[in-house]
Structure 1
């Protein structure tokens, strides 16, 4: 937690605790129904990508913790502490948020065949959109978080992690 938590510090589903994935149940049901009735592959693809991101992240987290516990090739000659593990246990909240945004954009803004992920032109368009505006905005947003006002309210806990892991970068 930040040294002086600001407005919207917690995710809306924080009170659900371990049951935070219940937020996605309506999306899963809708994507399965859309696939079963109209063969809409894109909604179910959003759900599949979410599962892939969670599994992919967990593999890298486990691998990095194994390497840290083994003690070879550490960046910092220190083992990971339990308070850092507890502080970074909400690493998947960003994946839930991105899934909600991607699903809502897919359903309400883009339509059904504007951005075909399974074709090369759709994949190139998504890559260009990510490499261009998304990375640019992320860089300047992260710079802004280092301003004293935002740093003490939102970003200080990110820099309190001494032993870096793959999830340390996603923890605001």
Structure 2
């Protein structure tokens, strides 16, 4: 947590505690129900597979976290001599909130744009458009957003905890995993502009 937490620092499901994973339940139930009741031509296997992919992301992250802490405890390949402190472990326990948020966004996106799950695996024009949008306005916006977070007023409220971890771990290095809700929201808003602009590309969803 930042030294002076600002508004929207906490994730919306924080009051749920360990029951926070229930936020995905409506989407998972809906995807299963839709796959069962819809006719063969309209069945959407990709939406059904979203939940297993989200579970894999949880498992994948946990494997690297456990491996990193094992090697830290063993004392081999340390960058610093000091061991990881409980304060850092507690501060980084919210690494899975970003996965919940990301998963919910994907479900919402698939609901708003049903054709998104039927896009071809490869479209040269789509790849070029995404690269141009990402390397251009999106990276420009993200640069200034991150730079603004290092201003003393915003730094103490939203960004200081990211620089408080001394012993680097996979979740420490990947700042997205331990940032507060407000920054993740702003981050995804800037990156989603690539998706929304790409969706406006004519015939993008046509196979």
Give the structure-1-normalised TM-score: 0.86
- Rounded Cα–Cα distance in structure 1 between residues aligned with 2:59 and 2:178: 17
Cα distance change on mapping 1:13 and 1:151 into 2, 3 Å: same
Q: Give 2:116's match in structure 1, choosing from 102, 114, 117.
A: 114
Alignment of 1:89 onto 2:113: no
- Which residue of structure 1 aligns with residue 27 of structure 2? 27
Query: Deviation at 1:120?
Result: 2.4
Segment of structure 1 superposing worse, 130-139 or 15-24: 130-139
Alignment of 1:123-162 (within 5 A): 129=130, 133=134, 136=139, 137-162=141-166
Alignment of 1:17 onto 2:17: yes
Q: Which entry has the higher C-alpha Rg, 1 or 2?
A: 2
Cα distance change on mapping 1:98 and 1:131 into 2, 3 Å: farther
- Which residue of structure 2 aligns with residue 45 of structure 1? 49
- Aligned-partner SS, 2:116: coil
Q: Give 2:80's match in structure 1, choosing from 57, 76, 79.
A: 76
- Aligned-partner SS, 1:22: helix
- Rounded Cα–Cα distance in structure 2 between residues aligned with 1:128 and 1:171: 30
Query: Deviation at 1:50?
Result: 1.0
- Which residue of structure 1 aligns with residue 66 of structure 2? 62
Q: How many residues align?
A: 169
- Aligned-partner SS, 1:120: coil
Cα distance change on mapping 1:144 and 1:116 into 2, 3 Å: farther
Give the structure-2-normalised TM-score: 0.73
Cα distance change on mapping 1:146 and 1:83 into 2, 3 Å: same
Write out per-residue CA displacement over residues 136-155 of structure 1, whole angstroms, 9 at most, x where no aligned residue: 25444333221212111011
Write out per-residue CA displacement over residues 43-73 of structure 1, whole angstroms, 9 at most, x where no aligned residue: 2232222111111111111111111111111
Structure 1 residue ranges without an equivalent (≥5)? none
Structure 2 residue ranges without an equivalent (≥5)? 180-207
